[in-house]
Every structure is written in structure tokens, then in C-alpha cells.
Chain A
Amino acid sequence: MYVIGERINGMFVDIKRAIQEKNEDPIRSWAERQIAAGADALDVNVGPATSKQTEALLWMTDIIRRVSADVPLAIDNAKWEVMQEVIPRVPGPKIINSSKADEEALQRYCALAAEHGCSLIALTIDARGVPADVDSRVMMGATIVTKALEAGLTPDRVFIDPIIIPINCAPKQPVAVMKALEQLKILSDPPPHLVLGLSNVSQGSAKRELINRTYMAMAIAAGLDSAIMDPCDKELMDTAITAEMLMEKMIYCDSYLEAYRANRRGTPA
């Protein structure tokens, strides 16, 4: 599972305050903690903290790069102008988070990713908005893969996010996303990565952690191999590791959780 740590996001109160007060400590601390907990990449998002988004992103990525020169950074911003400015100026591996699936947007974002050696997260949303069903997600996924390959991005650099919508407003969506994952998985060989902003499934509901954990396992079974999630949530990580073990992505042993973490860290168990 390719874990993208979600915590450095201005929608969290402590990050919002840190951005506004130019306090480096929370940014640095969350970078260290997420990496230690097993994040493969860190999402970096200004959220509602400030309108000076380019400046804030560069400030945050600079702090994180002092923690780690090579942890991939998912630059998370909806504006093309901001992405275009930030990507060339952040050193080290990066993921562009994100492009929508309409051809015009994909053209621009894929070119940017190809030019700077980045990976790209593309959402199955187009001009018509958030997808309602399985078929539209899969069709957009096909467009994403085609455009990415045309621009010279190999499938391992493409992340497709089929958009999970909260269960308490869209009861049919969790199943639709699972069905979409199954079909998106076969769009290319090797397949693109399939990613979800996992905690969205429980946005506004009770029992958030239980719902997130359960949906994580279900989505992995359907083909999810990446998530924007909280790597410091040990139970959620344990669930993801267990689901992958049950999908035969690693050999079981009694200490399989410990073995997975030791393997990732590159240190002895």
C-alpha cells in the first residue's frame, strides 16, 4: 500500500495556525511523525489558511525538505496557476495532486508532470461534475491513462482517484467506487495506481474510524493500492496491512504486522 500522509493540511486547526503564524514546528513535527509511521509520501495542502497559496506551499515544502530530502511530496492544490509555479521550485520527488479528467486539464497537467519527472493524481471528475456511477468513472479513467501514456508517463507514475463520497449522503457510492476500482485496475498492464481520499467515506458520520477501517479493507480487495490517509492511525494501518496480506501481497507469518513495518523501514524487524 502506497500511503500518502494527509496530516499537513490547513484544514486541520494546528496546521492552519502554523501557516498563519509562520510557526515551523507543527509542520516539521507532522512530517517526522508521518514518515516514522510509514508514510510513503506526504500530502501538502494549504487549505483555508491563507489566500497566498504559492508562498505558503513553498514555505511548507521547504520545512519538510529539511526533514527529508527524498520523501515524495504530493502538492495538493486545485489551481493550475499555483501548481505551475510551485512544481518547478520544489526539489526532490513530487506528486501533482491533482488534475481533473477533462482532456484539456489532463493535457496541461500530464505535460507538467512529464516535464518535471513527477507522478500525477488524476480525479474521475470532469466538466459534468462528480461522477454518479461506475461507467463514467471507468471512462474517465481510460481517458486519464491514455493521456498520461501519450505524454510519456509510465503507469507507475499515474494515480487514479475514483472519488469516494460520504456514506451519509450517497449510500450507493461506496459500492460504485469498489466496482470502478475493479475495472480501473485492468486499464493497463502494469496497472495505474488506484488511490482514494479514504476519510471522505465517513465525512460527517458517527463511528468514523470504524467506517474508514472497514472501507479500507473493502477497497483494497477491489484493487485499491494507495490512500491519502492518516499513517499515525495504527489501527487503520494495521487494517490496510492485514487486507494486503489477505490479498496475498505478502507472505503471512505470526508477526506479519511487525515484518511489514520492518521491511518498509529497511531495518531489522
Chain B
Amino acid sequence: MTVPDVTEKYAAALNTVTIGATKEQGGTRAKTITVGGSAGLPWLRFEGRPGHPPVIAIEVWDTGAETWPDQLKEAYGPAMNGLADWCRKAVEFGADLICLKLMGTHPDAGNRSPEQAAESVRTCLEAVGVPLIVWGCGVYEKDNRVLPKCTEAAKGENCLFGTIVEKNYATLVAACLAGGHKIIAESPLDINIAKQVNILASDAGFPLQDIVMFPTTGALGYGLEYVYSIQERMRLAALGGDRQLQQPILCDVGMEAWRAKESKIPQKEAPTWGPAERRGPIWEAVTATNLLQSGGDILVMRHPEAIRMVRKTIERLTGA
């Protein structure tokens, strides 16, 4: 008896997005990164073209990382004290991209100026050759003054800038159009709003193909399943031809996983939980690998041990 063929055929595929520009392309990156392009469900390679493998961006902050958990400070050592050294260390640990979060520009946490933020962007670009993600502090009024200075400082480098949201998108859209950059479109775990943000950006002149979606990330134990289901629904809608949901997906794994008490508290406070040095990276790695299964294309991560584990998983899944 022949087994019937139950493979699905999909009407459409995901967009590809390229980040970074080499000298020939008007930038100074050693190479570019391309994500997306899958024509089927994640990892079901027998059903459709698999698309580009997921990539790992390592998260660095302009200032303020003293608040990071000890395990992370130990992993990076003194390199964490200077942005350029930190970027170089991240590339040593295998970063495909650097994700610079301008947390020091937050009004309550340093209130660094737009000029200082632009200087940090230049520092990262000069320190390493991998493509750059630049992420604001999340306070709209401040980001709207900071990010345009940064898009200008990085003009020609084709960075990925974030984020636009439903209530605040016009300034960053204009800045990225002028600077030739890609955009992260953020939504609060709401697929309807995710679609709407893409439409708003597109109505304002920003091409749908130049957007990366950030549906918000929740760590293991803190909403991971809901994020999984949203990413899964986005993928199914994309494959069904919904052009406002065909954008690759970014997951903010490191920040969320290291918020959890499970990654941080020392074993003496939770004896059955095992040593924190292993527990933290595992919490981050498991969050990441779950989101890989629901179609995460760019994983923003922190701990080198978690990154090593996830890299190995990606290699096994892609058959590399």
C-alpha cells in the first residue's frame, strides 16, 4: 500500500531581508546578512524551499550594563566596560550581527544625548565588520530625537533600526528612508496590530519588503507559548499569501530570558534548581530553540554558552 502524499503546497513565500552593506554597496561591512525566504513551515524541508538559516545577533548596550546578571558579566569580562571591546568580544563569540541597544539614552537611565548615541553607533561600526542592529530605548519622544541622528551617522550601512509601533512610526520611517536602512516593526503580542503596523509603515512609504517583524518575545515560563503561537500564525498567513505578514521575524531572547528569576538566582536560594552558571544559559537557549521552531529568523542573544548551544541546534536543523 503506498503512503499518500500529505505534503502541503503553499501559495506564497516569506520575504528576504538583507542587512549590512559592503564597500561595493556603499558601506563598510565585511559581509552582509540575509534572512527569511522560506516557502514552507519551519524546518519541514520536504514541503518547501527552506529559506536562509536563522542568525544570531549579540546584544550590547551603549551604557548601563552594570545591571546585567553576574553570569553575563563573567562571560564577557572586562570587555564589557568598553563598547568597541564588547563588540569585538561578541564577534569572537560568533555574532552574525551586533544588536546595539541605546538603553543609556533612556530619560531615567542616563539620558544620553542624540549626539552621544550617534557616537556609539559609529563606535560599533568602526570596531567590527558584521552588520548592525540599532534599537532605541522605547520612550517615543526620546527615540524620535535619537534615532534620526543615528540613521544619519550610519547612512549607507543598511542597518536594521528599531522599533516602529502603531502609535509611533512616522519619524523612524522617514529617517530610515533617508538613511537607506531596514526597520523593525514591533507589536504587543497581537497579530492584528502586527499586520496594522506593517500597513501603516507601507502607507507612509516604507516598503513591506524592508521590514522585520518583532511580535514581542516572552521567555520560557513567561509567555513563550503565546509568542510561539503568534509566530506560527504569522507564518501560516504569510504562506497563504498575506503580504502584510510575510516579513522575517526577530526574537529578543537574551533580554527576556535573563529577566527570569530562573536564570539568575543562585543555587543556595533554590537548591533543587542546579547551579546558576548552567541554568541561566540553558534558560536562554531553550527560549531560543523554541522560537526557532516557530520561525524566528534573527535571534538577539546574550550568553556565549547559550549562543553556542543554539548555533549547534541551527546547524543540525539546517543539515549544515
Contact = CB atoms under 8 A, between A and B. Distances in A.
A253 B203 CA distance: 14
B241 interface: yes
B284 to A, nearest CB: 30
B199 interface: yes
B207 interface: yes
Interface stretch (A55-63, A98-106, A117-125, A256-264): A256-264
B192 A259 contact: no
Interface residues of A, number: 13
Nearest to A262: B243
Interface in B221-275: 233, 237, 241-245
Interface string B193-205: 1111011101100
B199 A259 contact: yes
A269 B192 contact: no
A269 B197 CA distance: 11
Given A262-B243, A268-B207, A251 B233 contact: yes
Given A253-B244, A268-B202, A259 B195 contact: yes
A51 interface: no
Interface in A201-260: 250-255, 258-259
B196 A255 contact: yes
A263 B202 CA distance: 12
B203 A251 contact: no
B241 A263 contact: yes
B208 interface: yes
A253 B237 contact: no
B191 interface: yes
A263 B196 contact: no
Contacts of B192: 251-254
Nearest to B237: A251
B203 A269 contact: yes
Contact of B245 (A251, A254, A258): A251
Contacts of B208: 268-269
Interface residues of B, number: 20
B199 A263 contact: no
A253 B200 CA distance: 11
A128 to B, nearest CB: 38
Contacts of A258: 199
Contacts of A252: 192, 195
A259 B193 CA distance: 13
Given A263-B241, A263-B244, A268-B208, A253 B202 contact: no
Contacts of B199: 253, 255, 258-259, 262, 269
Contacts of A251: 191-192, 195, 233, 237, 242, 245
Contact of A253 (B196, B233, B241, B243): B196
Given A263-B241, A263-B242, A269-B244, A254 B196 contact: yes
Contacts of B196: 253-255
Nearest to A250: B242
A138 B203 CA distance: 46
Interface string A135-176: 000000000000000000000000000000000000000000
A269 B237 contact: no
Contacts of A266: 243
A246 to B, nearest CB: 13
Given A251-B192, A254-B196, A269 B241 contact: no
Interface of B: 191-196, 198-200, 202-203, 207-208, 233, 237, 241-245
24 contacts: A250-B237, A251-B192, A251-B242, A251-B245, A252-B192, A252-B195, A253-B195, A253-B196, A253-B199, A253-B244, A254-B192, A254-B196, A255-B196, A255-B199, A258-B199, A259-B199, A262-B243, A262-B244, A263-B241, A263-B242, A268-B207, A269-B202, A269-B208, A269-B244
- Pick the 7 closest A-B CB pairs, nearest first: A253-B195, A253-B196, A269-B202, A269-B199, A268-B202, A255-B199, A253-B192
Given A253-B196, A259-B244, 14 more contacts: A251-B191, A251-B192, A251-B242, A253-B199, A254-B196, A255-B200, A259-B199, A262-B243, A263-B241, A268-B202, A268-B207, A269-B199, A269-B202, A269-B244
